[in-house]
């Protein structure tokens, strides 16, 4: 299993990634809406697992309950 993305990584900071969607910066990211989290984002590859890969964070895993500003609702 790959290491988890650290919120302090450069890429995480650039995208506003947080391991807990509830902690997303709602002032900076007005597009955030309740219910959005990695687990229902089109880019999440972990299925129902608590952590999984995301194309935007190669070599690491994001939290199912996480969120970032590139969130795109899964179809
Ligand atoms: Fe999570 Fe989607 Fe952002 Fe990847 S793109 S970190 S799966 S919200």
- pLDDT 10s digits, 26-53: 999 999 999 999 999 999 999 999 999 9
User: What ipTM score was computed for the predicted complex, to two decimals?
Assistant: 0.99
Q: Which residue's CA is minimally distant from atom 1 of ligand 1?
A: 38
Q: To test ligand 1's pocket by mutation, which of 35, 37, 44 has the most ligand atoms within 8 angstroms of CB?
A: 44
- The fraction of the chain above a pLDDT of 90, given in percent, is 97
Task: Enumerate residues 6+ apart whose C-beta is below 8 A from 56.
Answer: 11, 15, 43, 68, 70
Domains annotated for the chain, with CATH where assigned, are 1-75 (4.10.490.10)
d(CA 57, CA 55): 5
Residue 1 has pLDDT above 80, yes or no: no
């Amino acid at each position: 299993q790959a290491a988890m993305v650290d919120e302090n990584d450069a890429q995480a900071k650039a995208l506003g990634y947080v391991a807990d969607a509830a902690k997303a910066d709602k002032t900076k990211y007005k597009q955030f809406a309740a219910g959005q989290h990695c687990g229902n984002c089109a880019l999440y590859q972990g299925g129902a697992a608590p952590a999984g890969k995301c194309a935007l964070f190669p070599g690491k895993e994001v939290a199912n309950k996480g969120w970032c500003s590139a969130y795109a609702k899964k179809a």
